[in-house]
Amino acid sequence: MKTLRRRRKEAKTDYKARLNLLKSNKPRLVIRKTNRYIIAQIVESNLAQDKVIADFSSQDLLEKGWPKEKAGSLKSLQAAYLTGFGLVKKRSRRSRTKNKSHKRNLSNRRTFKFK
């Protein structure tokens, strides 16, 4: 009889899907919700190593203009949305600096400033 892995027994990890994800060589989105914050990361896997490409925490929202009196609500739905939005902005900013030829015409689009 083969013993099941603990995380498989708890129905937390599907090892077949995880192996296929790691074999695909695509970056994956990892989101963690702690007691106080939400942490979002884009992670690449190389053999037995994981490399974080970009990360953003809801704690970073305080530096971006989140009200100080609402610092206790950094795991709310609004904070989760802005954490994901900040991660995308941070990732796109890094990819633009790596690839200077990447240009888009945003003159006709409505833009929002992320402070």
* pLDDT attached to residue 102: 46
- Is there a domain that residue 64 lies in? yes
Residue 54 pairs with which residues in a beta bridge? 42
Q: Model confidence at 85, in pLDDT bands (50, 70, 90)?
A: very high
pLDDT at 100 over 70: no
- Is there a domain that residue 48 lies in? yes
* Cα–Cα distance, 92 to 64 (Å, whole number): 17
**Strand pairing of 28-33 and 49-57?**
unpaired
- Is there a domain that residue 20 lies in? no
Q: Model confidence at 39, in pLDDT bands (50, 70, 90)?
A: very high
- Is there a domain that residue 5 lies in? no
Range of the domain at 48: 26-97
Q: How many domains does the chain have?
A: 1
CATH number at residue 43: 3.30.160
- Is there a domain that residue 85 lies in? yes
* pLDDT attached to residue 42: 93
Q: How long is the chain?
A: 115
CB 57 within 8 A of CB 39: yes
* pLDDT attached to residue 30: 93
- Is there a domain that residue 33 lies in? yes
- Could you read off the pLDDT of 61-82 as tens digits, one per residue? 999 888 888 888 898 999 999 9
Q: How many CB atoms lie within 10 A of CB 109?
A: 7
